[in-house]
Structure 1
Amino acid sequence: MPQAVTAEEAAQQVLSVFVKTHRIAVGDSLTGLTIAMAFEDQGLNRLDMEPGMQHAIDEGWLELTPRHSLLLTQKGFDAAK
């Protein structure tokens, strides 16, 4: 059984999808489906994805766009590990 991660750890996993997996630039966005597929491809727990995305939004690392995709901010790019 996979070990539970904190919301911050899950947010870092989401940021990794943006910065490392897809090499997204600041101001560009990904859909939730794209993030979910990357989580599956990397063997990450999809149940961690939602709290991770919400934490990243709360921290100002990602912004929800009017089209319901997630936009990477400079703060999020800088926070990515």
Structure 2
Amino acid sequence: MTIAHHLDDATLMRYASGDLDEAFLVVVASHLAMCDHCREAVRRAEEIGGELLEEGDAAALGPSSFDALMRRLDGAA
């Protein structure tokens, strides 16, 4: 199958960062399975994201941060 269209950069970056809802993630993953061009764009986005994480300064968290996170997760369930 020949791919006639490519996904936009914003969608590929959201995919690389794990910021797509489940239904759209399946659509994008299916496209990536057949499209070398978009797969390479995701690889580059993941590489850039990894470099940014490595070079960024870690933020200090307060002592109650973990408990606050767990409360939010419990509320989302």
Q: When you count helix as a share of all residues, which structure comes out higher?
A: 2
Of structures 1 and 2, the one with the larger relative CO (CA 8 A, separation 6+) is 1
Give the greater-gyration-radius structure (CA): 2
TM-score by length of 1: 0.29
TM-score by length of 2: 0.30
